[in-house]
Structure 1
Amino acid sequence: MSAEEARGTAGKLRAVCGELAERFYERDDVVRTLVVTLLAGRHSLVLGPPGTAKSELARELTGRIDGAAYWEILLSKFTAPTRMFGPIDVAALARGEYRQVYEGRATTAHIAFIDEIFKCSTAALNETLGYLNERIYHPENGGAPVHCPLIGAITASNELPEAADAAAIYDRLLVRIEVGYLADPANFAALVRSAVSRPPAPARTTVELDALRHAVTEAVPTVDVPDAIVDAVCTLRAALRRKELVASDRRWRQAVGLLQASAYLDGRAAVAETDLSVLTHVLWDSPADRPTVEREVLHLVNPDAKEALDLADTIEDLEAQLDAMAGQSREALSDWVIKNAHGKLARAGNRLARLRDEAVVAGRSTAAIDRVTGRQRAVRTRILTEALGVDASMVPAKP
């Protein structure tokens, strides 16, 4: 495949990201990260409560790969390995032959979506680990290992694993993405309207399987990693270790492929500092540690996003104050809004808007800024309705 064709593949994947971001509100960064993970040939976890479009997003993304064999399963503690990797051929068994039927199962899939991944049964655990790690399956009859064409798996869960055996799977999922319910009231309103409207058929860009495989095996690994990026990664590792956040050497090494995939997706021949943002989804184990990792990464590569996270602290503090004032008189709430909340929220909203403009001009990611802006609007709506008794839908959506 020529360099021009490789650039064409990256362009199509960017188009896919844009189309899905328009359809799935507040999921721009999620979509891009999933695509980057596939390009790196790694596996991802989408972690969040039920009803956050995890499954729908995964299906819509994987459906954009033309010619790819797709396999999906919802796991439970009782899922047998044969249901995942191939049932017994009953007709062959009647002839005295023990054989499995692999077609349509994990063993023949190029892309997989595994829902409730941490409910993998004990019986299927080792085979699932082998499938994710080495892309192999050991047949039930003890025959030669089956090599699986898996490019990458997208997994999902409503909660983190508690059992030690499921933790082994968690460790093999390089990218971990947290999703929640919509924060921005305007996006929620658009979601509600979409349930009763008939929007025109959206654009649907697709990418050929062979083009994706070439990108994963040939194009992405050739993306240059400058010494300045290596130095930045070393600096980040040291900063996280000072906060007692330690990732394995294997995880750091695999993360380099994500940086290369991020640069490839943007059409660049070398990794840049902006690509380091993807590490916010790699270097934490507990969700409680994710904000710390995010701050350290953004401090290094995205100063405007770091300031946005600092503003998020102010916004969250205002919401906590509102919660603490539950039951107080409308007069007391109005006085608090006038003297405290209104000015801080307005300043935060205005600053977030300027930060976003600066990030766009500089070509930096706006994902963190957009997320904080959604929280600012959500808290503003709460204050309008709960503290002032104002119908928020009648007030223009401004800082």
Structure 2
Amino acid sequence: MPIIHLKKLEEIRQALNLKFFERENEVEGILVALLSRQHMLMIGPAGTAKSALSAELAKIVQGTEYFQWLLTRFSTPEELFGPLSLKDLEKGVYKRNTLTKLPEANLVFLDEIFKANSAILNSLLTLLNERLFYNDGKPVKVPLLSIIGASNEYPEEGEGLEALFDRFLLRFELDYIANEKNFVSMLKGTGQNQILPSMTMEELVQLQLITDTVTIPDEVYETLGEIRKELRDEGIRPSDRRFKQSLSVLQAKALINQRQVVKVYDLVILENALWETVDQREAVSAIIRKHSQDVVTQVLSSIKNEANDIFYAIQQDQSPEAGMEATKKIKALVADLKNLKRNNQNRKAEINVLLDKVTSMEREILDTILEPWHFDSQHEKWGTTSTFFKM
């Protein structure tokens, strides 16, 4: 496995999390969609960074052809698929010039996706599902990797958009920033001027191929069967196709977490995939979490989220006082992980992965972010280089 590509993947995730506050799930989701070649839908009010996140990802993946469009009920096929070629029309050939339009793109963002009218819908469905565009009646294979759809609201029943909604395997619901500190940081533009990491299209394709080779053990398949049975007992019946497509999502999630084997706890991402209607979301989430998260997994997830919060906070406030507070909190998390490992030797390898990451965060806070200040662990004091050596 090319470690350098996986390292880039983690750098990209961290950079996007620093730039977009309280969007960790969506950042992971959009990377998973890209690696698994699936489509993702974001539902939420205007001004929740739906288009910004997609556009930023397109900049990060260098060499990608990106297409973005806002749909209205008056949108025409020409806007998305290109105008008819007048030269060909004179010869009686009904052919579109698709240059710079959706059929030529690798990554697509369609805002207000449910405003798609019947003139656009059929071509869009074929593109989403089969990666084909019919031009002059002939199917043309398109280079599409993922379509990221966005809407301020869910489609209403009876609008004929059920098939379009079903084409989006991953669905995330967004809201405005909840945390006051994050809100203030957003107003200040914290993280907006950072130099973002980049990845070439060739590197992305390699990562997609590696994603396809990630192993799914029998335990995961069996748990999926249990989830399917319990969902059916609740009257929730995701299609066999949706379950099959979900496997690639699990493989991508494992790879993003630097693993070549899917774990049962990776199944939690399917709470964004296995529901059919909005009123099923909570029931689906509860069932999937019951089967995918034991106590150790929940503790690890909590520690991981807290460590990320501490690390992101210190990027915004690099004062010695903030550094001391951050270091104490990180040290406490390291202690919690070591204690967890002592009591769960059968999960040692899994716990060590997070322990290494949190320890690395601690070192980065001490050695890089807080220079030239140093923390004297023996006396639990902060000082400059000169005072540190006098202690």
CA drift at 1:184: 1.6
The one of 227, 234, 237 equivalent to 2:228 is 237
1:32 — aligned with what? 28
Identity of matched residues, %: 32
CA drift at 1:128: 0.5
2:13 — aligned with what? 17
CA distance in 1, matches of 2:111, 2:160: 17
In the alignment, structure 1 residue 192 sits paired with structure 2 residue 184: no
1:350 — aligned with what? none
CA drift at 1:299: 2.0
CA drift at 1:232: 1.4
SS in 2 for 1:177: strand
Alignment map for 1:106-121 (pairs within 5 Å) = 106-121=102-117
What is the one-letter code of the residue matched to 1:79?
Answer: S
CA drift at 1:237: 1.7
* Stretch moving more, 218-227 or 157-166: 157-166
SS in 1 for 2:84: coil
Alignment map for 1:162-177 (pairs within 5 Å) = 162=156, 163-177=158-172
1:316-337 C-alpha deviation (Å, 9 max, x unpaired): xxxxxxxxxxxxxxxxxxxxxx
1:60-86 C-alpha deviation (Å, 9 max, x unpaired): 122211111111111112222222112
Distance 1:80 1:220, change over 3 A: same
SS in 2 for 1:165: coil
1:104-143 C-alpha deviation (Å, 9 max, x unpaired): 011111111111111111111110001111111112x33x
2:142 — aligned with what? 148
1:202 — aligned with what? 194
Q: State whether residues 72 and 115 of structure 2, in contact with CA within 8 Å, keep that contact through their aligned partners in structure 1.
A: yes
CA distance in 2, matches of 1:233, 1:267: 22
Cα RMSD (Å) of the superposition? Answer: 2.8
Normalising to structure 1: TM-score of the pair? 0.71
What is the one-letter code of the residue matched to 1:149?
Answer: P
2:251 — aligned with what? 260
CA drift at 1:264: 1.6
CA distance in 2, matches of 1:361, 1:72: 41
In the alignment, structure 1 residue 250 sits paired with structure 2 residue 241: yes
Q: Unpaired segments of 5 or more residues in structure 2?
A: 301-331, 341-349, 355-391
In the alignment, structure 1 residue 136 sits paired with structure 2 residue 127: no
CA distance in 2, matches of 1:130, 1:200: 37
CA drift at 1:100: 2.2
The one of 267, 270, 274 equivalent to 1:279 is 270
- Aligned residue pairs total 311
What is the one-letter code of the residue matched to 1:268?
Answer: R
Q: Unpaired segments of 5 or more residues in structure 1?
A: 309-352, 365-399
* Stretch moving more, 286-295 or 272-281: 286-295
1:291 — aligned with what? 282
* Stretch moving more, 260-269 or 92-101: 92-101
What is the one-letter code of the residue matched to 2:286?
Answer: R
CA distance in 1, matches of 2:18, 2:351: 21
What is the one-letter code of the residue matched to 2:155?
Answer: P
Distance 1:168 1:107, change over 3 A: same
SS in 2 for 1:153: strand
1:258-285 C-alpha deviation (Å, 9 max, x unpaired): 1111112222111112311211110112
Give the structure, 1 or 2, with the largest relative contact order (CA under 8 Å, sep 6 or more): 1
What is the one-letter code of the residue matched to 2:124?
Answer: T
Distance 1:12 1:92, change over 3 A: same
The one of 67, 70, 80 equivalent to 2:66 is 70
SS in 1 for 2:42: strand
CA drift at 1:31: 0.3
CA distance in 2, matches of 1:307, 1:268: 19
CA distance in 1, matches of 2:222, 2:211: 21
CA distance in 1, matches of 2:242, 2:94: 39
Distance 1:39 1:189, change over 3 A: same
CA drift at 1:27: 0.6
SS in 2 for 1:138: strand
SS in 1 for 2:160: helix
What is the one-letter code of the residue matched to 2:72?
Answer: S
In the alignment, structure 1 residue 103 sits paired with structure 2 residue 99: yes
CA drift at 1:307: 9.3
2:218 — aligned with what? 227
Q: State whether residues 40 and 220 of structure 1, in contact with CA within 8 Å, keep that contact through their aligned partners in structure 2.
A: yes
1:348-380 C-alpha deviation (Å, 9 max, x unpaired): xxxxx98xx66995768xxxxxxxxxxxxxxxx
Q: State whether residues 43 and 175 of structure 1, in contact with CA within 8 Å, keep that contact through their aligned partners in structure 2.
A: yes
Distance 1:244 1:99, change over 3 A: closer
Q: State whether residues 88 and 98 of structure 1, in contact with CA within 8 Å, keep that contact through their aligned partners in structure 2.
A: yes
In the alignment, structure 1 residue 183 sits paired with structure 2 residue 175: no
1:4-49 C-alpha deviation (Å, 9 max, x unpaired): 2xx3222212211110111111111110111011111110101111
Q: State whether residues 106 and 144 of structure 2, in contact with CA within 8 Å, keep that contact through their aligned partners in structure 1.
A: yes
CA drift at 1:98: 5.0
2:207 — aligned with what? 215
CA drift at 1:235: 1.7
CA distance in 2, matches of 1:83, 1:189: 38
CA distance in 1, matches of 2:199, 2:151: 27
CA drift at 1:93: 4.7
CA distance in 2, matches of 1:214, 1:185: 40
